[in-house]
Amino acid sequence: MLDIRTIRNNPELVKANIKKKFQDHKLVMVDEVIEMDTAFRAAKTRGDELRGQRNAISKEIGGYMAKGMKEEAEKTKEKVAGISKELAELEVLEVELEQKIKDRMMVIPNIIDDTVPIGKDDSENVEVAIFGEPKVPAYDVPYHVEIMESLKGIDLESARKTSGNGFYYLKGDIARLHSGILSYARDFMIDRGFEYYIPPFMIRSEVVTGVMSFAEMDNMMYKIEGEDLYLIGTSEHSMIGKFIDEMLEEEDLPQALTSYSPCFRKEVGAHGIEERGVYRIHQFEKQEMIVVCKPEESPEWFVKLYENTIDFFRSLDVPVRALECCSGDLADLKVKSIDIEAWSPRQKKYFEVGSCSNLGDAQARRLGIRVRNKEQGNYFAHTLNNTVVAPPRMLIAFLENNLQEDGSIFIPEPLRMYVGGKDALKAK
């Protein structure tokens, strides 16, 4: 959410930003906010005047009563009643205007960084760099479910019976590999100075609307019926929500946190749920990284965060590339975002395995996350997040890139301690 002063003082900047994001239907909202804000401030000013008048007149009533001037006191009371009536009407108007302004402010997009490429959708995202050599072996690379089945490591049919499409049972070596990757990711981030958390897996609506846009919320979140609780789609939600309405001390920043959680997503949209596969599913697990910092530090942290993911994947010999999201592909709260994509030898192309985002002060403004500064005044913190790893999607890249000709899966050295010291998983 933008600072209302940005819209008051520079509406053309806000409109130009909306156009960059190809959301021209929102242009009218800028003028509506300005008009409503003017009316809101006028109502507030008039209300303050009336309260002052009422206080002064109330003193006069006391004076008249003390002097026995009952008739004058009654006439003055009528004036107070008239003022109180107008005040009550103004207070209702203020609440109404404030809510209408907020409703529009919540969907007007954040100001994107000047370096963000302009484009309508993800087809116009821009490749930043490639890390590792993308290879295609001389032998066939089967579909990832077939690789898992050869290792007796997945059961989709049973999951369909218990839960429907978009769910899975992992078992045996594949289940252990899945957990091992998450454990390795946890230790990888701890070694880089991040504090480890396991957060709540459900959050209240005020946190949901604080951390994401309404469009994302509708497409992603599962609501707990009868309660003000949602299942998280990523631990970023509860980790940023942890700071709601807090006044942070500057000396406590930056806060660099890494968190594990299961994640639950409706995955509503054009892509749909895979009937056979674990790429787009309703339930998965993820290791996340979150940073809360000073505004001037967020560009540097943005680079650090996505480099952490690149380093993690390269430590497991998985080639990746960084792809910068264009303006039309950015969610409304984001200032800048880079997707990390892993190489698929089977498909001979890259696919998304994580996303790094700088949200500026948008989440902090919605959630009331401030930083104390006695000299220059308090301000809103900046928040960032990035995926370390999200299996089972990451398993697809890992299995394909480490598949040997005999059907076994090579285990890189950093991961072996998490899978019982094995250097390979053998087909069964």
Asked if the domains 4-105 and 122-425 are classified in one and the same CATH topology, the answer is no
pLDDT for residue 269 is more than 60: no
394 and 278 in contact (C-beta within 8 Å)?
no
102 and 27 in contact (C-beta within 8 Å)?
no
According to the CATH classification, is domain 122-425 in 3.20.20.70?
A: no
Given this model, what pLDDT does residue 52 score? 84
Alpha-carbon gap, residue 36 to 51, rounded angstroms: 22
pLDDT for residue 43 is more than 90: yes
Alpha-carbon gap, residue 266 to 278, rounded angstroms: 14
Alpha-carbon gap, residue 215 to 231, rounded angstroms: 16
230 and 223 in contact (C-beta within 8 Å)?
yes
Alpha-carbon gap, residue 286 to 156, rounded angstroms: 20
Distance of CA 237 to the CA centre of its chain: 6
> Comparing C-alpha atoms, which of 288, 206, 202 is closest to residue 238?
202
Given this model, what pLDDT does residue 72 score? 73
pTM of the model: 0.89
Given this model, what pLDDT does residue 60 score? 66
Cis check: omega of the bond before 254, within 30 degrees of 0: yes
The H or E element that residue 9 is part of is helix 4-9
Alpha-carbon gap, residue 116 to 325, rounded angstroms: 7
Q: Which of 212-216, 363-367, 384-388 has the lowest mean pLDDT?
A: 212-216
β partners of residue 126: 324
Query: Rounded mean pLDDT of 337-353?
Result: 96
369 and 248 in contact (C-beta within 8 Å)?
yes
Give the strand pairing for 230-231 and 202-203. Answer: antiparallel
pLDDT in tens, 290-339: 999 999 999 999 999 999 999 999 999 999 999 999 999 999 999 999 99
Given this model, what pLDDT does residue 231 score? 96
Alpha-carbon gap, residue 408 to 150, rounded angstroms: 9
Q: 4-105 is classed in which CATH architecture? A: Orthogonal Bundle (1.10)
pLDDT for residue 422 is more than 60: yes
Tokens of 279: 């790429």
Higher pLDDT, 273 or 175: 175
Given this model, what pLDDT does residue 66 score? 63
Given this model, what pLDDT does residue 90 score? 93
pLDDT for residue 374 is more than 70: yes
pLDDT for residue 275 is more than 80: no
pLDDT for residue 270 is more than 60: no
Given this model, what pLDDT does residue 85 score? 87
Query: Rounded mean pLDDT of 77-100?
Result: 87
227: Cβ–Cβ under 8 A, 6 or more apart, which residues? none
- Give the model's confidence band at 65: pLDDT under 50 very low, under 70 low, under 90 confident, else very high: low
Residue 379 dihedral angles phi and psi, to the nearest 5°? -150, 165
**Cα Dmax for the chain:** 107
Given this model, what pLDDT does residue 67 score? 67
358 and 384 in contact (C-beta within 8 Å)?
yes
Hey, is 19 helix, strand or coil? helix
111 and 367 in contact (C-beta within 8 Å)?
no
Q: In 106-241, which ranges are continuous DSSP H helix? A: 144-150, 156-162, 172-191, 205-211, 214-220, 235-241
pLDDT in tens, 183-210: 999 999 999 999 999 999 999 999 999 9
- Please report, for the chain, the start and end positions of each structural domain, with discontinuous segments joined by +: 4-105, 122-425
> Comparing C-alpha atoms, which of 58, 10, 54 is closest to residue 30?
10
Look over the chain and give the mean of its residue pLDDT values, rounded to a whole number: 92
Residue whose pair of structure tokens reads 């000047």 in the numeric block: 114
The H or E element that residue 291 is part of is strand 283-293
Hey, is 249 helix, strand or coil? strand
Alpha-carbon gap, residue 132 to 318, rounded angstroms: 7
Query: Rounded mean pLDDT of 349-376?
Result: 95
pLDDT in tens, 116-137: 999 999 999 999 999 999 999 9
β partners of residue 290: 257, 385
Give the strand pairing for 320-324 and 336-344. Answer: antiparallel
Residue whose pair of structure tokens reads 């009533």 in the numeric block: 61
- Give the model's confidence band at 273: pLDDT under 50 very low, under 70 low, under 90 confident, else very high: low
